[in-house]
Amino acid sequence: MHLREIAYAKINLALHVRSRREDGYHELETLFAFVDAGDQLVAQAAEVDLLTTVGEFADALDNPFDNIVMRALTALPRADGLAVTLEKNLPVAAGLGGGSADAGAIFRMIRDAYGLPDDWRQRAARLGADVPACVESITCIGRGTGTELQPIESDLAGTPVLLVNPRVALTTGPVFKAWDGVDRGPLPVGPVSAIAREGRNDLRGPAIELCPVIQDVLDALSRSNPLKSDMSGSGATCYALFQDVGERDKASQTLATDHPDWWQMKGHLR
Residue 88 designated active-site = no
pLDDT digits (tens, 9 = 90+) for 158-178: 999 999 999 999 999 999 999
CATH number at residue 80: 3.30.230.10
Residue 130 designated active-site = yes
Identify the domain containing residue 29 by its residue range. Answer: 2-151
125 DSSP 8-state letter:
H
pLDDT at 24: 79
235 DSSP 8-state letter:
S
pLDDT digits (tens, 9 = 90+) for 173-196: 999 999 999 999 999 999 999 999
Taking residues 29-35, report their average pLDDT.
98
pLDDT at 60: 87
CATH number at residue 256: 3.30.70.890
Q: Within this chain, do residues 135 and 164 fall inside the same structural domain, yes or no?
A: no
Q: Within this chain, do residues 94 and 227 fall inside the same structural domain, yes or no?
A: no
* Residue 135, pLDDT above cutoff 90: yes
The residue among 131, 151, 171 that closes a domain is 151
* Residue 259, pLDDT above cutoff 90: yes
- Other beta carbons within 10 angstroms of residue 262's beta carbon come to 18
Q: Within this chain, do residues 24 and 136 fall inside the same structural domain, yes or no?
A: yes
Helix (H) or strand (E) holding 85: strand 81-87
Per annotation, catalytic residue among 10, 202, 228, 230 = 10
- Other beta carbons within 10 angstroms of residue 185's beta carbon come to 11
The residue among 134, 151, 168 that closes a domain is 151
CA–CA distance, 216 with 168 (Å, rounded to integer):
13
Q: Which residues contact 112 (CB under 8 A, 6 or more apart)?
A: 3
Q: Within this chain, do residues 33 and 144 fall inside the same structural domain, yes or no?
A: yes
> Edge-to-edge strand order for the sheet containing 263-268?
228-231, 238-241, 160-165, 263-268
Q: Within this chain, do residues 68 and 128 fall inside the same structural domain, yes or no?
A: yes
Per annotation, catalytic residue among 39, 102, 130, 202 = 130
pLDDT at 64: 59
CA–CA distance, 10 with 199 (Å, rounded to integer):
17
pLDDT digits (tens, 9 = 90+) for 40-87: 999 999 999 999 999 999 998 877 567 899 999 999 999 899 999 999
